[in-house]
Amino acid sequence: MTLYISIDDTDMPDSPGTGRLARQIVEQLGKKYKITAITRHQLFVHPDIPYTSHNSAAAISIHDVPEDTLENLFEEVTFIVKSEAAKGSDPGVCMAHVSQINPAVVLFGKDAKSMILTQEQALSIAEYSNIRLVGLDGTKGGIIGALAAVGLAASGSDGRYIHIGTIRNLHGEAEISDIKAAGIPDIISVDGKPVQSGKILFRKFPQPVRIQGSPVLLVRENEGSWIVERRD
């Protein structure tokens, strides 16, 4: 069974971001569960939507989870988020397996990238779809982004990877062979050309986009070098 667990609105201006908390969840649960990736999903930025810095949510991909452990897993995640989310934040947590993520959930995620949605809409869709969705503190507004991230991750072609393989062990630049060995099988230029050799420059670590359920590193040429084209 493949699951997506997503979190949103867990931070404040002076605290680590939601992506960092997602990695903390992976660190704590990775020995018990087969966790393969974390993706970041950009949501609508609008003056009427409260957010800390960029209004992004994080989705964790977990595989081969036995049916009888689902409730314990959800309780473990919500315990971590409630314990570690920044004071004053409005955290939301969502968990769904692929069979629960119907077109309405995916559409909710896509709408969350371009319009203002409500907690009532999120709760209604989650209830109809039998998806676990809970707000843990504050206004509980994070349930909107949490449900949206599940839909976007399941759609297969949204967001970028902030954790997969060993990509976070690469810093600043790397040979293509090392990038592929770190867990990014496809490197493609923005004009569609597969890139097979050379060195690639990037900020911090290479962050591939999610396309058809797989990590793809988009690059562009700049003065004889390849530079990662970062997309939200």
**What is the pTM (predicted TM-score) of this model?**
0.92
The residue that leads in pLDDT, 182 or 222, is 182
Q: Lowest mean pLDDT: which of 7-21, 53-67, 149-163, 191-205? A: 7-21
Secondary structure letter of residue 161 according to DSSP: E
Give the integer Cα–Cα distance in Å for 58 and 8.
7
Amino acid at 85: A
Amino acid at 15: S
Residue 84 has pLDDT above 70, yes or no: yes
Residue 62 has pLDDT above 90, yes or no: yes
Give the integer Cα–Cα distance in Å for 104 and 96.
13
Q: Lowest mean pLDDT: which of 12-21, 95-104, 110-119? A: 12-21
Q: Pairing relation of β-strands 3-8 and 56-63?
A: antiparallel
Residue 102 has pLDDT above 80, yes or no: yes
Helix (H), strand (E) at residue 93: strand 92-97
Q: Which residues pair with 97 in a beta bridge?
A: 3
pLDDT of residue 11: 73
Domain boundaries, the chain: 3-160, 166-228
CATH tag, 3-160? 3.30.70.2200
pLDDT of residue 197: 84
Mean pLDDT of 75-96: 94
pLDDT digits (tens, 9 = 90+) for 157-208: 999 999 999 999 999 999 999 999 999 999 999 999 999 888 999 989 999 9
- pLDDT band with cut points at 50, 70 and 90 for residue 88: confident
Amino acid at 96: A
Residue 15 has pLDDT above 80, yes or no: no
Q: Residues of the chain with pLDDT > 90: what percent?
A: 75
pLDDT of residue 50: 66
Helix (H), strand (E) at residue 189: strand 186-189
Mean pLDDT of 106-124: 96
Q: Lowest mean pLDDT: which of 45-59, 72-86, 118-132, 218-232? A: 45-59
The residue that leads in pLDDT, 39 or 66, is 39
Q: Lowest mean pLDDT: which of 12-26, 30-44, 115-129, 180-194? A: 12-26
Q: Which residues pair with 93 in a beta bridge?
A: 7, 134
pLDDT of residue 76: 96
